[in-house]
């Protein structure tokens, strides 16, 4: 029982980071129809940067925020590469994001080496239902909740958020009312960078990151986004949490090295089950 609680909570924490990365996929895809595969490497940059900044340069809080903001800039640059040229087809942009991801990975190896890096987290732990839980993991869950609430408010209430939603909903009409749809796409890339960075910053203290983490992160994040039909942040959150919990249970009771395969398998199953819904959404 205590074991199960521990797995569940660490699964939810890990799943939260998948959900954050996944919502980055969603935000970019909705506005630009591009699948941004650089999401995983941006998350790693976030974790690594916060480790460097917190190593005597900046205090807790500031260091994390600075790392997340830097990721926003990295996201924006990736956006410029991917959709900066007017009229680039989404599939070409997708390839560009793959290339950008490799570049970022190279930069990570160059700057931080190949070994896993873990920034200092909150430290300490609390006991929940008999299970000892790192406070950092709780922070991940709370911060993710806040981030998703902020995201929802941003899209539904703010004028800029409505502009983004409009660009996603009907690009022609958006251009017609004077919205610069390409700028909105770049904004989406920046926002995705922030979300990915947040995921990396939050998860790295309990799951040290190296450039090898890219594939599992990007796959899990993408699987979560697929669960949300690449359009719904809320369903992406749910998908991410399911994935995280399933992964931790697999790792705990079966074998840790199956986690990524688990994510892939789940994504396949979801895609098959949801393919009908996909087609219907496309037709709409």
Tell me which residues touch another protein (CB under 8 A): 159, 162-163, 165-166, 169-170, 172-179
Q: How far is it, in rounded angstroms, from Cα 98 to Cα 88?
A: 15
Q: Compute the least distance from the CB of residue 146 to another protein, in Å.
A: 25
Q: Which C-beta is closer to another protein: that of 119 or that of 163?
A: 163
Q: How far is it, in rounded angstroms, from Cα 197 to Cα 71?
A: 5
Q: Compute the least distance from the CB of residue 77 to another protein, in Å.
A: 27
Q: Which C-beta is closer to another protein: that of 132 or that of 281?
A: 281
Q: Compute the least distance from the CB of residue 284 to another protein, in Å.
A: 8
Q: Which C-beta is closer to another protein: that of 233 or that of 247?
A: 233
- Angle at CA of residue 29, ends 84 and 45, nearest 5°: 70
Q: Compute the least distance from the CB of residue 168 to another protein, in Å.
A: 9
Q: Which C-beta is closer to another protein: that of 168 or that of 262?
A: 168
Q: Compute the least distance from the CB of residue 166 to another protein, in Å.
A: 5
Q: In whole angstroms, how far apart are CA 224 and each of 29, 30, 114, 267?
A: 13, 15, 27, 8
Alpha carbon 155 to chain centroid, angstroms: 17
Q: How far is it, in rounded angstroms, from Cα 247 to Cα 239?
A: 12
Q: Compute the least distance from the CB of residue 139 to another protein, in Å.
A: 34
Q: Which C-beta is closer to another protein: that of 57 or that of 153?
A: 153
Q: Which C-beta is closer to another protein: that of 61 or that of 178?
A: 178
Closest CA relative to residue 42, chosen from 75, 86, 84: 75
Strand, helix or coil at 43?
helix
- Angle at CA of residue 101, ends 99 and 103, nearest 5°: 75
């Amino acid at each position: 029982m205590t074991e199960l609680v521990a797995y569940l909570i660490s699964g939810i924490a890990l799943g939260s980071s998948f959900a954050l990365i996944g919502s980055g996929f969603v935000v970019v895809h909705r506005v630009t129809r591009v699948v941004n595969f650089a999401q995983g490497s941006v998350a790693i940059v976030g974790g690594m940067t916060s480790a460097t900044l917190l190593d005597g340069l900046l205090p807790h809080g500031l260091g994390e925020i600075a790392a997340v903001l830097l990721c926003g800039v990295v996201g924006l640059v990736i956006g410029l590469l991917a959709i900066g040229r007017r009229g680039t087809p989404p599939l070409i942009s997708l390839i560009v994001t793959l290339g950008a991801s490799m570049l970022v990975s190279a930069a990570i190896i160059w700057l931080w080496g190949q070994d896993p890096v873990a920034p200092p987290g909150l430290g300490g732990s609390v006991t929940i239902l008999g299970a000892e839980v790192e406070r950092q993991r709780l922070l991940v869950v709370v911060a993710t909740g806040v981030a998703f609430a902020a995201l929802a408010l941003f899209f539904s209430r703010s004028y800029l958020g409505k502009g983004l939603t409009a660009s996603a909903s009907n690009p022609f009409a958006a251009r017609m009312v004077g919205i610069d749809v390409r700028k909105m796409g770049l904004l989406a890339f920046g926002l995705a960078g922030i979300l990915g960075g947040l995921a990396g910053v939050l998860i790295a203290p309990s799951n040290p990151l190296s450039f090898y983490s890219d594939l599992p992160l990007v796959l899990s994040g993408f699987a979560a986004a697929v669960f949300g039909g690449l359009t719904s942040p809320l369903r992406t959150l749910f998908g991410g949490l399911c994935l995280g919990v399933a992964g931790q249970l697999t790792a705990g009771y079966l074998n840790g090295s199956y986690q990524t395969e688990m994510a892939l398998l789940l994504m396949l199953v979801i895609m098959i089950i949801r393919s009908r819904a996909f087609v219907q959404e496309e037709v709409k």
